[in-house]
Amino acid sequence: MSRSFTDLYVEVLQHYATQMQNLDEGKFEEYAQTFTENGEFQHTPGRPPAVGRQQIVEELHEFHRRFEDDPVQRRHWFDQVAVSADPDGAIRVSYYCLVVTTRPGQRVPQIAPSCTVRDVLVDEGGVLRNHSRVVDHDFVR
């Protein structure tokens, strides 16, 4: 499907908004559905990527186990979103992400890690999905 760059950019932002609200609400199945069936997701350098929706859900449950006795609200904030469309149809996106963590009664949130993210998105019947996502952390060099 051919669309203007402006339409594509808005669709990318809408995809991220629904995807990351799902993640921050703990809806890991819904988050995984925003990836292609064989999509790859690496959120921490050095950790092997989760491949496929089932592994993505398991990886997120495993990662969030650290918060079992630590009620937190995490929010992933994206900005500096740069989109480029390849001639083969793949959509490459790079952007910044800050993870903001708030604990009950603590007015001042923790802001970490600061990340850069590289996504490859594909259009599946008019729906954008992540074919891959690689997150790099600024403090890991």
Output the residue with the shortest Cβ distance to ligand SDN.
Answer: 43
β-bridge partners, 104:
none
CB of 87 to ligand SDN, least distance (A): 26
Phi-psi region of 52 (alpha: psi -120 to 50; beta: other; left: phi over 0): left
Cα four-point dihedral sign 116, 120, 126, 127: negative
- 8 Å CB contact between 39 and 22: no
| Binding residues for ligand SDN (CB under 6 A) | 23, 43-44, 63, 76, 97, 99, 113, 115, 117, 135
Residue closer to ligand SDN (CB basis): 8 or 19: 19
**Least distance to ligand SDN from the beta carbon of 86, Å?**
21
Give 12 or 117: the residue with its C-beta nearer to ligand SDN. Answer: 117
